[in-house]
A = this chain, B = another copy of it.
Amino acid sequence: MSGARLLARLDDLAQVGPIEGGGSCRLALTDADRDGRDLVITWMRDLGLEVVIDSVGNVVGTWNVGSGSAVMTGSHIDTVRTGGRYDGNLGVLAGIEVIETLMQAGLTPPRPLAVAFFTNEEGARFQPDMLGSLVFVGGMTVEEALDARAIDGPRLGDELRRIGYAGAHPCPSPSPHAFVELHIEQGPRLETDDIRFGSVTGVQGISWQEVTITGQSNHAGTTPMSLRHDPALVSARIVVFLRDLASRYGGDQVCTVGKIDLVPNLVNVVPRSATLTLDVRNTDESILRRAEAEIATFLDQVAGDEGVTIETRRLARFEPVEFDGRVVDLIEDAISHRGHSNMRLPSGAGHDAQMLARVCPTAMIFTQSHLGISHNPAEFTDPDDLVEGTDILLEVMWRLAHTDFDAAPGGNS
């Protein structure tokens, strides 16, 4: 395969909606997203792929149509406002490179190979994130998706029409034979352990809640400690409790408090209220539920101790997704076969693959992400890893095209 061609396409796409630092801003269904779509479709058409656009703007380019259900790869090309060069883009352009390489080698697989990019994966302009792949697999109706409102106002359906990507192909789409997505890790685990590639076992379940603590605002100098009902203290106890919970649970458990807002937020005033967010993730739904229950108990207790009231609001809740163990094994084998170190690990972030996992055998390949930095122009993966990851994707797709999945999908634990 041609590493130079892959890297050049990554460069070309990064220059659509360029931002300072070498990243891109292509919020879903903006003019920049349309320009990115047009460019990628040009490359698909140059290869003679059959390009299909569906009713929520997902784009699928297929080679060797008519020989059964396709082995599909792909990802997304929309970005967050401060997007890097690799998140999403790599998975799409690697897919094109895989097909072009096989074509040029004169190797025709026994099934169609397809490469897709899905609408609004990031969720930075429309909610929910992963909207396109969700509709693709029938998890959301087209009508509901078209009614989604952008943060800047317009309906998704109107924006699709405006940029010329309201396609005719119906959703849900027929299920692929299998799906595999190449993506940067967006976390530091591979790099930290000096492991070159990851075979991704699934996606962590996510529990987001907002906690609002209401106490009593008081003068910091004149109010004795015994008379305080201090939301800042309660929020601090919650942050410490979450860290302790993550330590006790171990494994893949992560807990984060990334947002705290005190009111009025002044040096000499005991706050009237504190609002904080709890982000709790685990690959095991039963453990995630146990964590949520422990947190609820703790909130009651700490509210009583300090004499404050606590209200919680659910912001998001996704059950963990388990990828197909047969595909995970196949990826692990391909990584080893090519002489690389491998780590089986769950994804901490959401990906289109988790939607495809509902309808066909699915898994993902991770490359390292330098320092785990993502959603930032400083996002970086070594070019050798980008190219070698694409070679692994080729081998996996080739082998998937030769694999029959007749039994029910297997777990991977």
List A residues at the B interface (Cβ < 8 Å): 185-189, 192, 204, 206, 208, 216, 218-225, 227, 230, 232-233, 235-240, 243, 246-247, 252-262, 265-271, 277, 279, 281, 315, 347-349, 371-372, 374-375
Q: Which of B188, B230, B258 contacts A262 (CB 8 A)?
A: B258
Query: Across the interface, do A260 and B262 meet the contact criterion of CB distance under 8 Å?
Result: yes
**Are the C-beta atoms of B265 and A222 separated by less than 8 Å?**
no
Select from chain B the residue with minimum beta-carbon distance to A242: B233
Instruction: Give Cα distance in the complex from A347 to B279, angstroms.
Output: 42
Q: Which residue of B lies closest to A277 (CB)?
A: B267
Tell me, in angstroms, the Cα distance from A262 to B265 when the chains sit together.
Answer: 12
* Chain B residues whose CB sits within 8 angstroms of the CB of A188 once the complex forms: 218, 222-224, 227
Partner of A267, one of B208, B243, B247: B208
In contact, A220 and B281 (Cβ under 8 angstroms): yes
Contact B232 A240 (CB under 8 A): no
**Which B residues are CB-close (under 8 A) to A315?**
267
Known contacts A221-B187, A232-B258, A267 near B239 by CB under 8 Å: no
Return chain B residues, CB-CB under 8 Å to A237.
Answer: 236, 240
Q: Are the C-beta atoms of B267 and A221 separated by less than 8 Å?
A: no
Copies assembled:
2
CB pair B243 A225 closer than 8 Å: yes
Q: What's the nearest-Cβ distance from chain B to residue A320, in Å? A: 12
**Assembled-state Cα–Cα distance A353/B247 (Å):** 52
Complex Cα spacing A268 to B257, Å = 8
A171 vs chain B, min Cβ distance (A) = 27
Q: How far is the CA of A188 from the CA of B226 in the complex (A)?
A: 11
A221 and B270 form a contact (CB under 8 A): no
Whether the pair A268, B262 counts as a contact (CB closer than 8 A) is: no
Could you give 29 example pairs across A and B, Cβ below 8 Å? A186-B222, A216-B371, A220-B258, A221-B254, A222-B348, A222-B372, A222-B374, A223-B372, A225-B246, A225-B247, A227-B372, A230-B256, A232-B256, A233-B239, A233-B240, A233-B257, A236-B236, A237-B240, A256-B267, A256-B269, A256-B270, A258-B265, A258-B270, A258-B271, A260-B265, A261-B265, A267-B277, A267-B315, A268-B279
Report A201 CB to chain B, min CB distance, Å.
14
- Taking a contact as CB atoms under 8 Å apart, the answer to whether B240 and A257 are in contact is no
CA gap between A255 and B375 in the complex, in Å: 38
> Does the CB pair A192–B258 fall under 8 Å?
no
Q: In the bound complex, how far is the Cα of B257 from the Cα of A225, in angstroms?
A: 12
The CA of A180 and the CA of B93, in the complex, are separated in Å by 80
Q: Given A236-B236, A256-B268, 9 more contacts at CB 8 Å?
A: A186-B219, A187-B224, A219-B375, A221-B347, A221-B349, A225-B243, A235-B236, A259-B266, A259-B267
Residues of B within 8 A of A219 (CB): 186-187, 348-349, 372, 374-375
A216 partner residues in chain B, CB cutoff 8 A: 371
In the complex, are the beta carbons of B265 and A223 less than 8 A apart? no
Alpha-carbon distance between A229 and B235 when the two chains are bound, in angstroms: 19
Check A254–B220 contact: CB distance below 8 A. Answer: yes
Taking the closest CB of chain B, its distance from the CB of A212, in whole angstroms, is 14
Q: Name the one of B222, B347, B371 contacting A347, with C-beta atoms under 8 angstroms.
A: B222
Q: Quick check: A204 and B187 within 8 Å, CB to CB?
A: no
* Contact yes or no, A254 B281, CB < 8 A: no
Contact between A258 and B268, CB atoms less than 8 A apart: yes
Say yes or no: A225 contacts B239, CB within 8 Å: no
CA distance A253 to B220 in the complex (A): 11
Complex Cα–Cα for A266 and B82 (A) = 14
